[in-house]
């Protein structure tokens, strides 16, 4: 099924446990849409074989906890920041010019981490060979990947560095001049949340690109980031 140059408003997916497969949205716009807002992992939706090409996601769109597999995002404009909260990925390619995206953990429940989703996501990733391919991605704004295990991300080592918990604990990374980037916050959260690794991205389409590249090189030189 293919949709071209269409506008979608208030497409909502709540606790449906649905599977959406084999579709393409090309040059489409989305507003006030919700994907997989689920109370428990059993009610999350699955997206498989989907393609978004040169689409626009406007404000007030929510992506919570879907399982997304064998899909492609090829160019995506996000006038604000698109948050993906608790989603998991397998064989998903993100390429072209991409706006602001934050891959975050599941929404907390009663002010505390949602342990059911955290457990389900850990179990899911245990059998995934790779989650995201960012080797052709040109991020224009923030691209934060804290909820996706860094070692499962295919990356461009010249603009996307892998920081591991082991390396960060082995040196005093807080003394490194990170050029005013948010990399220090990302590393601090990596350690405090007990995660193993995270990929830090330099936004190639943003005026701060060179600043991020310098910070990445300093992380490599200090042994905090993988050398390549």
Q: What is the pLDDT of residues 4-16, one digit of tens each?
A: 999 999 999 999 9
- Extended beta strands in the chain, E state: 2-4, 7-9, 12-14, 19-26, 29-31, 34-37, 46-57, 62-63, 67-85, 88-104, 132-133, 137-139, 143-144, 153-154, 160-164, 197-201
Give CA separation, 79 vs 31, 61, 75, 175, in Å: 11, 11, 13, 35
Instruction: Determine the structural domain holding residue 138 and report its residue range.
Output: 2-154
Q: What is the pLDDT of residues 132-153, one digit of tens each?
A: 999 999 999 889 999 999 999 9
Q: What is the pLDDT of residues 73-111, one digit of tens each?
A: 999 999 889 999 999 999 999 999 999 999 999 988 887
Same domain, 106 and 13: yes
In this predicted structure, what is the pLDDT of residue 107? 87
Same domain, 210 and 139: no
Evaluate if residue 59 carries a pLDDT over 80.
no
Report the candidate in 84, 80, 92, 82 with the shortest Cα–Cα distance to residue 128: 92
**Whole-structure pTM value:** 0.94
Q: How many domains does the chain have?
A: 2
Evaluate if residue 112 carries a pLDDT over 90.
no
Same domain, 41 and 141: yes
Same domain, 115 and 227: no
With vertex at residue 169, the alpha carbon angle to CA 167 and CA 171, rounded to the nearest 5 degrees, is: 80
Q: What is the mean pLDDT of residues 185-201?
A: 95
Q: What is the mean pLDDT of residues 155-182?
A: 94
Residue at which a domain ends, from 128, 154, 180: 154
Report the candidate in 91, 101, 98 with the shortest Cα–Cα distance to residue 53: 98
Same domain, 92 and 16: yes
Same domain, 149 and 176: no
Same domain, 167 and 150: no
- Residue 42 β-bridge partners: none
Mean of the per-residue pLDDT values for the chain?
Answer: 95
- Extended beta strands in 39-171, E state: 46-57, 62-63, 67-85, 88-104, 132-133, 137-139, 143-144, 153-154, 160-164
């Amino acid at each position: 099924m293919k949709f071209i140059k269409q506008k979608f408003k208030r497409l909502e997916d709540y606790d449906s446990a649905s599977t959406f497969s084999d579709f393409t949205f090309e040059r489409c716009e989305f507003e006030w849409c919700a994907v997989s807002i689920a109370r428990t992992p059993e009610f999350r939706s699955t997206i498989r074989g989907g393609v978004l090409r040169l689409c626009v996601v406007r404000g007030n769109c929510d992506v919570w906890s879907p399982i997304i597999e064998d899909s492609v995002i090829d160019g995506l404009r996000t006038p604000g920041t698109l948050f993906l909260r608790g989603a998991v990925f397998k064989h998903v390619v993100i390429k072209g010019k991409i706006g602001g995206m934050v891959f975050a953990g599941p929404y907390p429940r009663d002010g505390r981490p949602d342990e059911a989703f955290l457990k389900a996501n850990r179990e899911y990733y245990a059998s995934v060979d790779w989650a995201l391919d960012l080797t052709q991605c040109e991020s224009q704004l923030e691209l934060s990947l804290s909820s996706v295990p860094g070692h499962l991300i295919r990356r461009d080592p010249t603009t996307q560095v892998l920081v591991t918990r082991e390396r960060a604990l082995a040196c005093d990374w807080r003394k490194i001049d990170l050029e005013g980037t948010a990399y220090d916050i990302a590393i601090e959260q990596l350690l405090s949340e007990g995660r193993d690794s995270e990929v830090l991205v330099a936004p190639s389409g943003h005026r701060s690109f060179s600043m991020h590249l310098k910070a990445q090189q300093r992380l490599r030189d200090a042994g905090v980031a993988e050398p390549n």
